[in-house]
Amino acid sequence: MIPLCKGSNPFTPNKENMFNLALTLNAYIIMMNVIISAALSWIISILSKKLSISLPTWEKLTSYECGFEPFGDARKLSVVSFFIVAMLFLLFDLEVVLLLPWAKSFIYIGMFVFLGISIYLILLLIGYIYETDKGVLG
């Protein structure tokens, strides 16, 4: 094959072709990981269902509550403060997940990113002060 002009051959090694090839290979690797993970999950769940021995009895099918017969209704109202504390824990846990990469690359980032993180931390501090003022954590 004779190229019509310089660079018209798609197989000519240059930076753009190599970059596109690397992106394509990364996409194929990710796609293969997803396909293999889905297939293994499906195979393991099917094998688990087929190979397990299930002998349901009346006692196994009854509800179980710490060795005692269940008492009360399972649909009773629960205390909301537990869920609020759990959500606050997740919020501040995600804060740490976002701050760790920033702290690791603090030397390499510019002042613009530092100001953004500072605003983020000030907003979180305001939220924390509001929570303690309302007595959510107490």
Question: Tens of pLDDT along the chain (138 residues)?
Answer: 454 555 555 556 666 666 676 777 788 888 899 999 999 999 999 999 899 888 888 777 776 656 666 666 667 777 777 778 888 888 888 888 888 888 888 778 878 888 888 898 898 889 888 888 888 776
Q: How far apart are CA 44 and CA 38, in angstroms?
A: 10
Q: What are phi and psi of 68, to 5 degrees?
A: -110, 160
Predicted pLDDT at 63? 67
DSSP state of 41: H
Spatial separation of the C-alpha atoms in residues 46 and 58, rounded to whole Å: 26
pLDDT of residue 44: 95
So what's the pLDDT on residue 35?
95
Cα(21)–Cα(14) distance, integer angstroms:
11
Q: Domain count of the chain?
A: 1
Q: What is the DSSP letter of 69?
A: -
The pLDDT score that the predictor gives to residue 85 is: 80
Residue 114's CATH number: 1.20.58.1610
User: Do the domain assignments include residue 6?
Assistant: no
**Looking at the domain assignment, is residue 2 inside a domain?**
no
Q: What is the pLDDT of residue 40?
A: 96
Q: Would you say residue 3 lies in a domain?
A: no
Q: Report the amino acid identity of residue 105.
A: S
Count the neighbouring beta carbons within 10 Å of the beta carbon of residue 4: 7
Domain boundaries, position 112: 15-134
Residue 33 placed within a domain:
yes
Domain annotation covers residue 71: yes
